[in-house]
Structure 1
Protein backbone atom coordinates (compact mmCIF):
# COMPACT_ATOMS: atom_id res chain seq x y z
CA UNK A 1 0.00 0.00 0.00
CA UNK A 2 1.41 3.38 -0.93
CA UNK A 3 1.29 6.36 1.43
CA UNK A 4 -1.21 9.08 0.67
CA UNK A 5 0.30 12.35 -0.50
CA UNK A 6 -0.57 15.43 1.60
CA UNK A 7 -1.51 17.02 -1.73
CA UNK A 8 -4.42 14.54 -1.96
CA UNK A 9 -5.81 15.23 1.54
CA UNK A 10 -8.78 17.14 0.08
CA UNK A 11 -9.90 13.93 -1.70
CA UNK A 12 -9.65 11.56 1.26
CA UNK A 13 -12.65 9.67 2.64
CA UNK A 14 -12.53 8.66 6.31
CA UNK A 15 -14.08 5.43 7.60
CA UNK A 16 -16.78 5.99 10.21
CA UNK A 17 -18.07 2.42 10.43
CA UNK A 18 -17.05 -0.86 8.77
CA UNK A 19 -19.27 -3.92 8.50
CA UNK A 20 -18.60 -7.35 7.00
CA UNK A 21 -21.63 -8.19 4.85
CA UNK A 22 -20.57 -11.63 3.61
CA UNK A 23 -17.61 -13.96 4.09
CA UNK A 24 -17.18 -17.02 1.87
CA UNK A 25 -14.26 -19.29 1.01
CA UNK A 26 -12.85 -16.65 -1.32
CA UNK A 27 -14.93 -13.48 -1.08
CA UNK A 28 -15.03 -11.03 1.83
CA UNK A 29 -17.60 -8.28 1.17
CA UNK A 30 -17.67 -5.11 3.26
CA UNK A 31 -20.01 -2.15 3.54
CA UNK A 32 -18.49 0.92 5.16
CA UNK A 33 -19.95 4.28 6.08
CA UNK A 34 -17.51 7.08 5.22
CA UNK A 35 -17.19 10.81 5.67
CA UNK A 36 -16.68 12.52 2.32
CA UNK A 37 -14.30 15.44 1.82
CA UNK A 38 -17.22 17.89 2.03
CA UNK A 39 -18.40 16.47 5.40
CA UNK A 40 -21.37 14.48 4.03
CA UNK A 41 -21.55 10.71 4.53
CA UNK A 42 -21.87 7.86 2.02
CA UNK A 43 -21.55 4.08 1.87
CA UNK A 44 -18.78 2.16 0.15
CA UNK A 45 -19.29 -1.51 -0.77
CA UNK A 46 -16.15 -3.43 -1.66
CA UNK A 47 -14.39 -6.78 -1.73
CA UNK A 48 -11.36 -7.44 0.47
CA UNK A 49 -8.87 -9.69 -1.37
CA UNK A 50 -5.58 -11.22 -0.14
CA UNK A 51 -3.77 -10.38 -3.38
CA UNK A 52 -2.66 -12.46 -6.32
CA UNK A 53 0.13 -12.97 -8.80
CA UNK A 54 0.16 -13.27 -12.57
CA UNK A 55 3.05 -14.79 -14.51
CA UNK A 56 4.12 -13.82 -18.04
CA UNK A 57 5.93 -17.05 -19.05
CA UNK A 58 8.42 -16.56 -21.92
CA UNK A 59 9.54 -19.57 -23.94
CA UNK A 60 13.00 -19.47 -25.55
CA UNK A 61 11.42 -19.05 -29.01
CA UNK A 62 9.57 -15.90 -27.88
CA UNK A 63 6.15 -17.53 -27.55
CA UNK A 64 4.15 -17.21 -24.36
CA UNK A 65 2.56 -19.89 -22.21
CA UNK A 66 -1.18 -19.27 -21.88
CA UNK A 67 -4.18 -20.86 -20.20
CA UNK A 68 -7.77 -21.32 -21.28
CA UNK A 69 -10.12 -21.58 -18.32
CA UNK A 70 -13.90 -21.39 -17.85
CA UNK A 71 -14.83 -18.35 -15.76
CA UNK A 72 -18.24 -18.86 -14.20
CA UNK A 73 -19.25 -15.18 -13.68
CA UNK A 74 -18.85 -14.59 -17.44
CA UNK A 75 -20.14 -18.03 -18.52
CA UNK A 76 -17.27 -18.45 -20.96
CA UNK A 77 -13.75 -19.73 -21.43
CA UNK A 78 -11.14 -16.99 -21.06
CA UNK A 79 -7.59 -16.84 -22.42
CA UNK A 80 -5.23 -15.72 -19.64
CA UNK A 81 -1.69 -15.74 -18.34
CA UNK A 82 -1.22 -18.14 -15.39
CA UNK A 83 -2.30 -16.53 -12.11
CA UNK A 84 -3.44 -17.32 -8.62
CA UNK A 85 -4.23 -16.09 -5.13
CA UNK A 86 -1.47 -15.45 -2.61
CA UNK A 87 -1.79 -17.69 0.44
CA UNK A 88 -1.54 -16.11 3.92
CA UNK A 89 2.10 -15.25 4.66
CA UNK A 90 3.29 -16.37 1.22
CA UNK A 91 5.80 -14.07 -0.51
CA UNK A 92 4.59 -13.03 -4.00
CA UNK A 93 7.55 -14.61 -5.83
CA UNK A 94 6.97 -17.92 -4.04
CA UNK A 95 3.33 -17.74 -5.10
CA UNK A 96 4.35 -17.02 -8.71
CA UNK A 97 6.70 -20.03 -8.76
CA UNK A 98 4.01 -22.24 -7.21
CA UNK A 99 1.20 -21.12 -9.51
CA UNK A 100 3.27 -21.48 -12.70
CA UNK A 101 4.29 -25.02 -11.74
CA UNK A 102 0.85 -26.10 -10.49
CA UNK A 103 -1.11 -24.75 -13.45
CA UNK A 104 1.28 -25.32 -16.37
CA UNK A 105 3.98 -27.70 -15.14
CA UNK A 106 6.70 -25.23 -16.16
CA UNK A 107 9.60 -24.26 -13.89
CA UNK A 108 11.61 -21.10 -14.65
CA UNK A 109 15.34 -20.48 -14.37
CA UNK A 110 14.87 -16.71 -14.03
CA UNK A 111 12.24 -14.39 -12.60
CA UNK A 112 11.61 -10.65 -12.77
CA UNK A 113 8.99 -8.55 -10.99
CA UNK A 114 7.34 -6.08 -13.34
CA UNK A 115 4.97 -4.30 -10.95
CA UNK A 116 1.52 -4.40 -9.41
CA UNK A 117 -1.89 -3.73 -10.91
CA UNK A 118 -5.20 -2.96 -9.24
CA UNK A 119 -7.84 -4.31 -11.58
CA UNK A 120 -11.05 -3.19 -9.86
CA UNK A 121 -10.28 -0.07 -7.80
CA UNK A 122 -13.94 0.96 -7.51
CA UNK A 123 -14.98 -2.20 -5.63
CA UNK A 124 -11.94 -4.25 -4.55
CA UNK A 125 -8.58 -3.77 -2.87
CA UNK A 126 -7.06 -6.65 -4.88
CA UNK A 127 -3.51 -6.12 -6.03
CA UNK A 128 -2.01 -8.46 -8.62
CA UNK A 129 1.79 -8.75 -8.72
CA UNK A 130 3.03 -9.13 -12.30
CA UNK A 131 6.03 -11.46 -12.70
CA UNK A 132 7.98 -12.50 -15.80
CA UNK A 133 9.51 -15.98 -16.04
CA UNK A 134 12.04 -17.28 -18.57
CA UNK A 135 14.33 -20.25 -19.05
CA UNK A 136 11.25 -22.46 -18.85
CA UNK A 137 11.54 -26.20 -18.32
CA UNK A 138 8.38 -28.26 -18.95
CA UNK A 139 7.00 -30.64 -16.35
CA UNK A 140 3.78 -32.06 -14.98
CA UNK A 141 1.02 -29.71 -13.83
CA UNK A 142 -0.64 -30.34 -10.46
CA UNK A 143 -3.98 -28.54 -10.63
CA UNK A 144 -5.95 -27.74 -7.50
CA UNK A 145 -9.06 -29.82 -6.77
CA UNK A 146 -11.88 -28.48 -8.97
CA UNK A 147 -9.50 -26.59 -11.28
CA UNK A 148 -9.72 -27.35 -15.01
CA UNK A 149 -7.73 -25.58 -17.71
CA UNK A 150 -5.90 -26.07 -20.98
CA UNK A 151 -2.32 -24.88 -21.46
CA UNK A 152 -1.24 -23.54 -24.85
CA UNK A 153 1.29 -21.17 -26.40
CA UNK A 154 0.89 -18.05 -28.52
CA UNK A 155 3.06 -15.32 -29.97
CA UNK A 156 2.78 -11.72 -28.84
CA UNK A 157 1.36 -10.78 -32.26
CA UNK A 158 -1.32 -13.48 -31.99
CA UNK A 159 -2.33 -12.26 -28.55
CA UNK A 160 -2.41 -8.62 -29.64
CA UNK A 161 -4.66 -9.58 -32.57
CA UNK A 162 -7.03 -11.36 -30.18
CA UNK A 163 -7.05 -8.29 -27.92
CA UNK A 164 -7.79 -6.02 -30.88
CA UNK A 165 -10.79 -8.10 -31.94
CA UNK A 166 -12.13 -8.30 -28.38
CA UNK A 167 -11.55 -12.04 -28.00
CA UNK A 168 -8.91 -11.52 -25.29
CA UNK A 169 -10.47 -9.31 -22.60
CA UNK A 170 -8.91 -10.40 -19.29
CA UNK A 171 -7.60 -7.20 -17.68
CA UNK A 172 -4.53 -8.72 -16.01
CA UNK A 173 -3.48 -10.44 -19.25
CA UNK A 174 -3.88 -7.20 -21.19
CA UNK A 175 -1.68 -5.41 -18.62
CA UNK A 176 0.86 -8.24 -18.91
CA UNK A 177 0.95 -7.69 -22.68
CA UNK A 178 1.50 -3.96 -22.12
CA UNK A 179 4.45 -4.69 -19.83
CA UNK A 180 5.84 -7.22 -22.32
CA UNK A 181 5.61 -4.80 -25.27
CA UNK A 182 7.31 -2.00 -23.36
CA UNK A 183 10.04 -4.28 -21.97
CA UNK A 184 10.80 -5.73 -25.40
CA UNK A 185 10.91 -2.19 -26.84
CA UNK A 186 13.47 -1.23 -24.18
CA UNK A 187 11.15 1.36 -22.65
CA UNK A 188 10.39 -0.37 -19.32
CA UNK A 189 13.08 -2.08 -17.29
CA UNK A 190 12.72 -5.29 -15.31
CA UNK A 191 15.49 -6.87 -13.23
CA UNK A 192 16.00 -10.60 -13.65
CA UNK A 193 17.07 -12.88 -10.82
CA UNK A 194 17.96 -16.56 -10.80
CA UNK A 195 15.36 -18.93 -9.36
CA UNK A 196 16.33 -20.03 -5.87
Structure 2
Protein backbone atom coordinates (compact mmCIF):
# COMPACT_ATOMS: atom_id res chain seq x y z
CA UNK A 1 0.00 0.00 0.00
CA UNK A 2 1.52 3.38 -0.97
CA UNK A 3 2.20 6.05 1.66
CA UNK A 4 -0.29 8.90 1.51
CA UNK A 5 1.16 12.28 0.49
CA UNK A 6 1.63 14.98 3.13
CA UNK A 7 -0.68 18.00 2.96
CA UNK A 8 1.61 21.04 3.03
CA UNK A 9 -1.06 23.69 2.53
CA UNK A 10 -4.83 23.89 2.07
CA UNK A 11 -6.84 26.98 1.10
CA UNK A 12 -10.37 27.70 -0.09
CA UNK A 13 -10.19 29.29 -3.55
CA UNK A 14 -13.90 29.55 -4.45
CA UNK A 15 -17.26 29.34 -2.70
CA UNK A 16 -20.90 29.44 -3.83
CA UNK A 17 -24.26 28.65 -2.25
CA UNK A 18 -23.75 24.94 -3.05
CA UNK A 19 -20.03 24.38 -3.53
CA UNK A 20 -16.63 25.08 -1.98
CA UNK A 21 -13.41 24.52 -3.91
CA UNK A 22 -10.15 23.96 -2.03
CA UNK A 23 -6.60 24.05 -3.35
CA UNK A 24 -4.33 21.44 -1.74
CA UNK A 25 -0.55 21.42 -1.99
CA UNK A 26 0.84 17.89 -1.52
CA UNK A 27 4.26 16.29 -1.13
CA UNK A 28 4.42 12.64 -2.22
CA UNK A 29 6.64 10.04 -0.54
CA UNK A 30 9.18 10.31 -3.42
CA UNK A 31 9.58 14.07 -2.78
CA UNK A 32 7.45 15.26 -5.73
CA UNK A 33 5.08 18.13 -4.97
CA UNK A 34 1.80 18.94 -6.72
CA UNK A 35 -1.14 21.29 -6.25
CA UNK A 36 -4.66 19.90 -6.74
CA UNK A 37 -8.12 21.45 -6.58
CA UNK A 38 -11.13 19.62 -5.22
CA UNK A 39 -14.83 20.27 -4.70
CA UNK A 40 -15.65 19.87 -1.00
CA UNK A 41 -18.87 18.55 0.45
CA UNK A 42 -20.92 20.24 3.13
CA UNK A 43 -23.54 19.00 5.56
CA UNK A 44 -24.14 15.46 6.80
CA UNK A 45 -24.17 13.84 3.34
CA UNK A 46 -26.71 12.44 0.91
CA UNK A 47 -28.67 9.31 0.07
CA UNK A 48 -29.56 7.56 -3.19
CA UNK A 49 -32.56 5.26 -2.81
CA UNK A 50 -33.35 2.13 -4.84
CA UNK A 51 -37.11 1.65 -4.22
CA UNK A 52 -38.24 -1.89 -5.05
CA UNK A 53 -41.96 -2.22 -5.73
CA UNK A 54 -41.31 -5.96 -6.03
CA UNK A 55 -38.23 -8.11 -6.71
CA UNK A 56 -38.19 -7.12 -10.39
CA UNK A 57 -39.61 -3.58 -10.37
CA UNK A 58 -37.64 -0.47 -9.41
CA UNK A 59 -39.22 2.98 -9.17
CA UNK A 60 -37.29 5.69 -11.03
CA UNK A 61 -37.99 9.43 -11.16
CA UNK A 62 -37.89 11.78 -14.12
CA UNK A 63 -36.79 15.29 -13.14
CA UNK A 64 -34.98 18.29 -14.56
CA UNK A 65 -31.19 18.35 -14.13
CA UNK A 66 -29.60 21.79 -14.38
CA UNK A 67 -26.16 20.27 -15.09
CA UNK A 68 -27.29 18.80 -18.42
CA UNK A 69 -30.14 21.31 -18.95
CA UNK A 70 -32.61 18.52 -19.63
CA UNK A 71 -34.87 15.93 -17.99
CA UNK A 72 -33.38 12.57 -17.10
CA UNK A 73 -34.47 9.30 -15.51
CA UNK A 74 -32.66 8.29 -12.32
CA UNK A 75 -33.10 7.00 -8.79
CA UNK A 76 -34.52 9.34 -6.12
CA UNK A 77 -31.93 11.07 -3.95
CA UNK A 78 -31.48 13.91 -1.50
CA UNK A 79 -29.54 15.45 1.35
CA UNK A 80 -29.43 14.09 4.89
CA UNK A 81 -30.76 16.73 7.28
CA UNK A 82 -28.86 17.72 10.41
CA UNK A 83 -29.57 15.22 13.20
CA UNK A 84 -31.16 12.71 10.78
CA UNK A 85 -29.92 9.16 10.35
CA UNK A 86 -28.98 7.90 6.92
CA UNK A 87 -31.91 5.46 6.74
CA UNK A 88 -34.43 7.98 8.10
CA UNK A 89 -33.28 10.40 5.39
CA UNK A 90 -33.74 7.70 2.74
CA UNK A 91 -37.30 6.99 3.89
CA UNK A 92 -38.17 10.71 4.03
CA UNK A 93 -36.78 11.38 0.54
CA UNK A 94 -38.64 8.34 -0.75
CA UNK A 95 -41.91 9.73 0.60
CA UNK A 96 -41.20 13.21 -0.80
CA UNK A 97 -40.09 12.20 -4.29
CA UNK A 98 -41.85 8.89 -4.98
CA UNK A 99 -44.92 8.94 -2.72
CA UNK A 100 -44.03 5.70 -0.89
CA UNK A 101 -42.58 4.80 2.47
CA UNK A 102 -40.59 1.63 3.11
CA UNK A 103 -40.98 -0.94 5.86
CA UNK A 104 -37.50 -2.30 5.17
CA UNK A 105 -34.32 -0.36 4.39
CA UNK A 106 -30.78 -1.59 3.77
CA UNK A 107 -27.60 0.47 3.45
CA UNK A 108 -25.59 -1.00 0.59
CA UNK A 109 -22.51 1.13 -0.10
CA UNK A 110 -21.12 4.66 -0.15
CA UNK A 111 -19.96 5.60 -3.65
CA UNK A 112 -18.08 8.59 -5.08
CA UNK A 113 -18.70 10.03 -8.51
CA UNK A 114 -15.25 11.50 -9.25
CA UNK A 115 -12.86 10.82 -6.36
CA UNK A 116 -9.95 12.47 -8.20
CA UNK A 117 -11.41 15.94 -7.63
CA UNK A 118 -14.70 15.63 -5.70
CA UNK A 119 -15.02 14.95 -1.97
CA UNK A 120 -18.77 14.38 -2.29
CA UNK A 121 -20.09 10.84 -1.94
CA UNK A 122 -23.57 9.35 -1.73
CA UNK A 123 -24.98 6.47 0.34
CA UNK A 124 -26.89 3.83 -1.62
CA UNK A 125 -29.94 2.50 0.25
CA UNK A 126 -32.36 -0.23 -0.86
CA UNK A 127 -36.00 0.26 0.17
CA UNK A 128 -38.67 -2.44 -0.08
CA UNK A 129 -42.03 -3.51 1.33
CA UNK A 130 -43.31 -0.16 0.11
CA UNK A 131 -46.63 1.44 1.10
CA UNK A 132 -48.23 4.65 -0.23
CA UNK A 133 -47.35 7.77 1.78
CA UNK A 134 -46.43 11.21 0.53
CA UNK A 135 -44.58 14.03 2.29
CA UNK A 136 -44.26 17.50 0.83
CA UNK A 137 -40.79 18.08 -0.58
CA UNK A 138 -38.90 21.03 -2.03
CA UNK A 139 -39.14 20.11 -5.72
CA UNK A 140 -40.17 22.97 -8.05
CA UNK A 141 -42.63 20.77 -10.00
CA UNK A 142 -44.28 17.35 -9.63
CA UNK A 143 -41.88 14.46 -10.23
CA UNK A 144 -42.92 11.70 -12.62
CA UNK A 145 -42.44 8.22 -11.11
CA UNK A 146 -41.55 5.52 -13.65
CA UNK A 147 -41.68 1.79 -12.74
CA UNK A 148 -39.06 -0.23 -14.62
CA UNK A 149 -38.21 -3.97 -14.63
CA UNK A 150 -34.74 -4.79 -13.33
CA UNK A 151 -34.66 -7.70 -15.78
CA UNK A 152 -34.40 -5.06 -18.55
CA UNK A 153 -31.47 -3.25 -16.92
CA UNK A 154 -29.26 -3.35 -20.02
CA UNK A 155 -32.03 -1.80 -22.13
CA UNK A 156 -32.52 0.84 -19.43
CA UNK A 157 -28.90 2.00 -19.39
CA UNK A 158 -28.90 2.18 -23.21
CA UNK A 159 -31.56 4.91 -23.12
CA UNK A 160 -30.40 8.47 -23.83
CA UNK A 161 -32.32 9.84 -20.82
CA UNK A 162 -30.51 7.49 -18.39
CA UNK A 163 -27.11 9.11 -17.89
CA UNK A 164 -26.44 9.44 -14.16
CA UNK A 165 -23.51 7.19 -13.22
CA UNK A 166 -24.50 6.82 -9.56
CA UNK A 167 -27.94 5.48 -10.46
CA UNK A 168 -26.51 3.06 -13.01
CA UNK A 169 -23.95 1.72 -10.50
CA UNK A 170 -26.58 1.38 -7.76
CA UNK A 171 -28.96 -0.54 -10.03
CA UNK A 172 -26.27 -3.08 -10.91
CA UNK A 173 -25.32 -3.47 -7.22
CA UNK A 174 -28.94 -4.05 -6.24
CA UNK A 175 -29.42 -6.59 -9.02
CA UNK A 176 -26.43 -8.53 -7.63
CA UNK A 177 -27.70 -8.11 -4.05
CA UNK A 178 -31.08 -9.57 -5.05
CA UNK A 179 -29.30 -12.50 -6.73
CA UNK A 180 -27.34 -13.18 -3.51
CA UNK A 181 -23.99 -12.20 -5.05
CA UNK A 182 -23.41 -9.06 -2.95
CA UNK A 183 -23.39 -8.90 0.84
CA UNK A 184 -24.57 -5.66 2.45
CA UNK A 185 -22.29 -4.32 5.23
CA UNK A 186 -25.06 -3.61 7.76
CA UNK A 187 -28.26 -5.36 8.90
CA UNK A 188 -31.69 -4.52 7.49
CA UNK A 189 -33.70 -1.84 9.29
CA UNK A 190 -37.13 -3.45 9.65
CA UNK A 191 -39.67 -0.74 10.50
CA UNK A 192 -42.47 -3.29 10.65
CA UNK A 193 -40.90 -4.53 13.92
CA UNK A 194 -40.20 -1.10 15.46
CA UNK A 195 -42.16 2.12 15.84
CA UNK A 196 -41.99 4.05 12.58
CA UNK A 197 -39.98 7.27 12.47
CA UNK A 198 -42.34 10.24 12.55
CA UNK A 199 -41.70 13.47 10.66
CA UNK A 200 -43.00 16.98 11.36
- For the aligned pair, the TM-score class normalised by the smaller chain equals 0.7 to 0.9
Over 3 Å counting, the alpha-carbon distance change for 1:148 and 1:31 in structure 2 is farther
| Alignment partners' CA distance in 2, 1:72 and 1:17 | 33
Over 3 Å counting, the alpha-carbon distance change for 1:166 and 1:152 in structure 2 is closer
Unaligned runs of 5+ in 1: 1-6
Structure with more helix by fraction: 1
| Alignment partners' CA distance in 2, 1:145 and 1:130 | 21
Match of residue 188 from structure 2: 192
Match of residue 37 from structure 1: 29
Match of residue 3 from structure 1: none
Over 3 Å counting, the alpha-carbon distance change for 1:148 and 1:25 in structure 2 is farther
| Alignment partners' CA distance in 1, 2:120 and 2:113 | 7
Q: How big is the alpha-carbon RMSD for the aligned residues of Structure 1 and Structure 2?
A: 1.9
Match of residue 12 from structure 2: 20
| Alignment partners' CA distance in 2, 1:176 and 1:125 | 19
Match of residue 71 from structure 1: 65
Q: Could you tell me whether the CA contact under 8 Å between 1:105 and 1:142 is conserved in 2? A: no
Over 3 Å counting, the alpha-carbon distance change for 1:122 and 1:58 in structure 2 is same
Q: Could you tell me whether the CA contact under 8 Å between 1:70 and 1:149 is conserved in 2? A: no
What count of residue pairs does the alignment treat as equivalent?
Answer: 188
Cα shift readout 1:7-56 (whole Å, capped 9, x = no counterpart): 321xx222111111222222111111111332232111111114211111
| Alignment partners' CA distance in 2, 1:18 and 1:113 | 33
Match of residue 4 from structure 1: none
Cα shift readout 1:140-161 (whole Å, capped 9, x = no counterpart): 3422053653222111133431
Unaligned runs of 5+ in 2: none
Cα shift readout 1:69-123 (whole Å, capped 9, x = no counterpart): 1111112212111111223343211211121111112100111111111111011
1:152 aligns with 2:157: no
Q: TM-score, normalised by structure 2?
A: 0.85
1:132 aligns with 2:129: no
Over 3 Å counting, the alpha-carbon distance change for 1:34 and 1:184 in structure 2 is same
1:177 aligns with 2:150: no
Match of residue 57 from structure 1: 51
Q: Could you tell me whether the CA contact under 8 Å between 1:56 and 1:176 is conserved in 2? A: yes
Q: TM-score, normalised by structure 1?
A: 0.86
| Alignment partners' CA distance in 2, 1:63 and 1:162 | 12
